[in-house]
Structure 1
């Protein structure tokens, strides 16, 4: 049994708890060494038994805190008191993270170390959240406050590493994004519709010594009405959920609207809350409706694009697309319900009926970036809608570079270009043939793009080392291939521009 308590942030007690965790070396790597890497990986898949076997009989401080706070298991009060000399058992209870039952301390929350990497290097925080389905041994309550999950880590990876004066984390949850943004912002406002989530977020800020975050309760943009921000980040409750009796409405993932209306509402409203040049980044789902199966991804992206005014920059990257059945099963299981449970089939029927009522043929998921132009911004806005399924790295840096490249070439290509250092070339030849049938340029980082090019474009990229200008290279190629310069330039120019936007060619600035 587990209580659904609300944490009680308290600076003095949070500082004491942080001191105890620090003294115990309660961090990711020491814990992995304690119980083993394979066992640690098993916990991420919902299995705690391997860890329990690895630390069986170990009553040391780290093992005690691991069972209590990482696994969410009751522990004898004596060892817990020894592990928390500054805070004490009563202090842990006062913070709303545990209760006393007989001679045991029963955790009512998880508290886990969470490592991160950003432009300043590698770091780690302690993040408190509600007990998960492993600790609860069942379905999650509707007001569950999620810890650092896959979506949280994804959003953290795509946020551009930029210094800003004011930032907003809309739908902060346990506060992980607010903590990340606070490292590069003068001030951060973190909002959520859940008072329990805000309590966790404030507690986590205190635990980690972060003081430039203000926490506000309310739905969507209501708590910041009339304000503007240089950066807005959001992992909103975008999961499409049937509005039907018997379907749980989890606060951490369900915004209470029909279909993908919450993402639409966010995108229609966000321009008013951005400063000139300000950027909004979020994760989201969007529906494809009434389209042939092979066209659904494009239809969904076009629907999303219609929600953002044409004068704003918009960059959408669809990472995956699920059928209604696959989507329904994913999120029913996410709530802790499996096909073994009697409620699984009614929930599945509710989801499929909901999708059918709107003619939904697929649901896309991905990254959304919106930028409000400055008054002096030249040229046409960036409108880029693409589907990328391959592994990506340093997405935040790649997005920042892509926006910069757009700004640099919006009025024309620069005089000199350079081949990016992570670009390689692959040539495919038929046996016995010296001329390649396929030439590919491959990007080692960022979006890991592979682009098929012809010999002229491949030769152009190969010559971009700074010795010759763009037009000198094109003129030389026109002579080499014996084609009119004007014709070759008309063919190459748009493709060169695309390679700059993709990051395979850079300006050197």
Structure 2
């Protein structure tokens, strides 16, 4: 693998050529850049024809081309370190090296090539994929002293954690993954990350952290390891269950953990209660299910991800074994989503919320994750009905009220209304007329009890009845950020 000194000189050369997220996007333009993300190479290749050194690097690293003289230093060291390979007519990329970053950072991520042959290697090191981007977009940015990146892979989460952590410890069971992560960090100019080798939490035994982030091997299936990046070696979702039980012991009071995971929907069992049983005492937990797939789609998705020929006899045999196992375990579906944990300080009552969040996300989730932690802490500080009634609230500025109708024999008739947030997860809550009026009155000027009294008078309903109906809904509105403490 590349040495730190070679990475430093390579970084300088990449920056000098403009091989950054901004530089590549501006060179290709919207159309060719979109084509590249779809895996269509001709349009971006045409855009690089007159682009000098930057065009050469784009063809070499992003288009899989051969370049006679790319603007890179220490070619022999790059070949010896495994980044490049020599061809009869020039040089080709032997690893994936692409620009990456957020908020005007210039990072570079090294990983194995995303080819069918490479993906079938047991120790394949994946690059910036959908799962890693999904997790990175959800990370709470509140500054902390230290973060553990558990199962760092090529180092993507460590890059992000380095921005809000004084120091990051990144671990992995695979030596090749750690070597790749080391090069990613050196290429990106990141110096506050330490690396440690070993399975799960063994490399950090006896240590605690302010934050933990993990994109662990979460693909449920038989107890085997075909690919280190995705398979835990434990059957089903047992590895995720064990990790959730163990993580709080590695967090300081108030510390948070964020990870991706998959869980089984087992016939005859309630999946939220099943996942809830994995959360140890003393922890807030927010489990957000983003997708649910049937067993056949689950197996096919991960076989395609591995670059397998789905029609090959060996692939079909593997699929049959996998589906037989799922059937024997009474698995009806597989869920996937985010998991957010926080160790509650001072032995106070924790909050556990498990819910679905289907559909596309309009915005990154990091703001919503941070907001959920803040709002749940506020609710914990206001546990009684009297405390809630004495509080002032303001309606989220992104909230809108939607009325909807259904068609009948006499035309359209109003069927209901819902308050919807226009940003973040775009939470939607069905509301009746009094609830809609209550939300509209939340401007921060009056405490909730006075608003309820006004509603009682306006709708000719007993105040006690409105309080019983209102307070559970208000708590839910606060959790989802529809109502914000004033």
Return the TM-score normalized by structure 1. Answer: 0.88
Residues 97 and 109, structure 1, Cα contact 8 Å, conserved in 2: yes
Shift in Å, 1:178? 0.6
Structure 2: how far apart are the matches of 1:472 and 1:32? 54
Query: Equivalent residue of 1:367, what SS?
Result: strand
Query: Aligned match of 2:358 in 379, 389, 412?
Result: 389
What per-residue deviation string (whole Å, max 9, x for no partner) do you get for residues 8-61 of structure 1?
A: 3x2221111011001100023432443443333333333434434554x65831
Specify the alignment match of 1:408 in structure 2.
378
Query: Aligned match of 1:398 in 345, 354, 368?
Result: 368
Residues 214 and 259, structure 2, Cα contact 8 Å, conserved in 1: yes
Query: Equivalent residue of 2:286, what SS?
Result: strand
Structure 1: how far apart are the matches of 2:405 and 2:29? 48
Specify the alignment match of 2:307 in structure 1.
336
Specify the alignment match of 2:124 in structure 1.
144
Note closer, same or farther for the CA distance 1:139–1:271 as it changes in structure 2 (3 Å cut).
Answer: closer
Specify the alignment match of 1:507 in structure 2.
485
Cα RMSD (Å) of the superposition?
A: 2.3
The count of aligned residue pairs is 477
Note closer, same or farther for the CA distance 1:65–1:435 as it changes in structure 2 (3 Å cut).
Answer: closer
Specify the alignment match of 1:164 in structure 2.
144
Query: Aligned match of 1:23 in 5, 8, 16?
Result: 16
Specify the alignment match of 2:59 in structure 1.
67
Query: Aligned match of 1:153 in 133, 136, 139?
Result: 133
Structure 1: how far apart are the matches of 2:32 and 2:353? 42
Specify the alignment match of 1:368 in structure 2.
339
Query: Aligned match of 1:311 in 262, 266, 282?
Result: 282
Return the TM-score normalized by structure 2. Answer: 0.92
Residues 6 and 74, structure 2, Cα contact 8 Å, conserved in 1: no
Query: Aligned match of 1:187 in 167, 178, 185?
Result: 167
Residues 394 and 445, structure 1, Cα contact 8 Å, conserved in 2: no
Specify the alignment match of 2:214 in structure 1.
234
What per-residue deviation string (whole Å, max 9, x for no partner) do you get for residues 310-340 of structure 1?
A: 3311110000111110100000000011334
Residues 98 and 109, structure 1, Cα contact 8 Å, conserved in 2: yes
Query: Equivalent residue of 2:24, what SS?
Result: helix
Residues 149 and 170, structure 2, Cα contact 8 Å, conserved in 1: yes
Note the residue ranges of structure 2 that are not aligned, 5 or more in a row: none
Note the residue ranges of structure 1 that are not aligned, 5 or more in a row: 1-6
Query: Aligned match of 1:352 in 323, 329, 335?
Result: 323
Query: Equivalent residue of 1:330, what SS?
Result: helix
Residues 442 and 448, structure 1, Cα contact 8 Å, conserved in 2: yes
Structure 1: how far apart are the matches of 2:121 and 2:283? 39
Structure 1: how far apart are the matches of 2:47 and 2:366? 38
Residues 267 and 308, structure 1, Cα contact 8 Å, conserved in 2: yes
Query: Equivalent residue of 1:467, what SS?
Result: strand
What per-residue deviation string (whole Å, max 9, x for no partner) do you get for residues 161-180 of structure 1?
A: 21101110000011010110
Runs of 4+ in 1 over 6 A off after TM superposition: 430-435
Structure 1: how far apart are the matches of 2:89 and 2:365? 49
Residues 72 and 109, structure 1, Cα contact 8 Å, conserved in 2: no
Note closer, same or farther for the CA distance 1:426–1:122 as it changes in structure 2 (3 Å cut).
Answer: farther
Residues 337 and 343, structure 1, Cα contact 8 Å, conserved in 2: no
